[in-house]
Amino acid sequence: MDFNESVTKTNLARSFSAECQAGARYQFMSKMALQDQQKFLSDTMKTLAKNEMAHAKVFYDHILNNSGGSVKNISIEAGFPFDEPKLESSLLEESKIEEAEANNIYPSFARIAKDEGFADIAKSFEMVANVEATHHQILKYLASLYSKRKMYRRDTPTEWKCSNCGYVSISKDGFKECPLCNMPQGYVIIDFEKELQDQHE
| Binding footprint of Fe ion on the chain (CB under 5 A) | 19, 52, 55, 98, 132, 135
Pure H helices in the chain: 7-35, 39-65, 87-100, 106-115, 119-147, 192-199
Closest CB to Fe ion among residues 55, 161: 55
Closest CB to Fe ion among residues 20, 145: 20
Minimum Å gap between C-beta 178 and Fe ion is: 30
Closest CB to Fe ion among residues 98, 116: 98
Q: Max CA-CA distance within the chain? A: 63
Minimum Å gap between C-beta 54 and Fe ion is: 8
Q: Taking the CB of residue 15, how many other CB atoms lie within 10 A of it? A: 27
Report yes or no: 137 and 196 within 8 Å, Cβ to Cβ.
yes
Q: Tell me the C-alpha to C-alpha distance, in Å, between residue 81 and each of 25, 40, 85, 188, 201.
A: 10, 26, 11, 31, 35
Closest CB to Fe ion among residues 58, 74: 58
Minimum Å gap between C-beta 136 and Fe ion is: 8
179 DSSP assignment:
T
Closest CB to Fe ion among residues 17, 164: 17
Q: What is the CA radius of gyration of the chain?
A: 20
Minimum Å gap between C-beta 6 and Fe ion is: 21
Minimum Å gap between C-beta 128 and Fe ion is: 6
Distance between CA atoms of residues 101 and 128, nearest Å: 9
Closest CB to Fe ion among residues 39, 135: 135
Among 139, 91, 110, 101, smallest CA distance to 17 is for: 101
Distance between CA atoms of residues 83 and 113, nearest Å: 31
Minimum Å gap between C-beta 98 and Fe ion is: 5
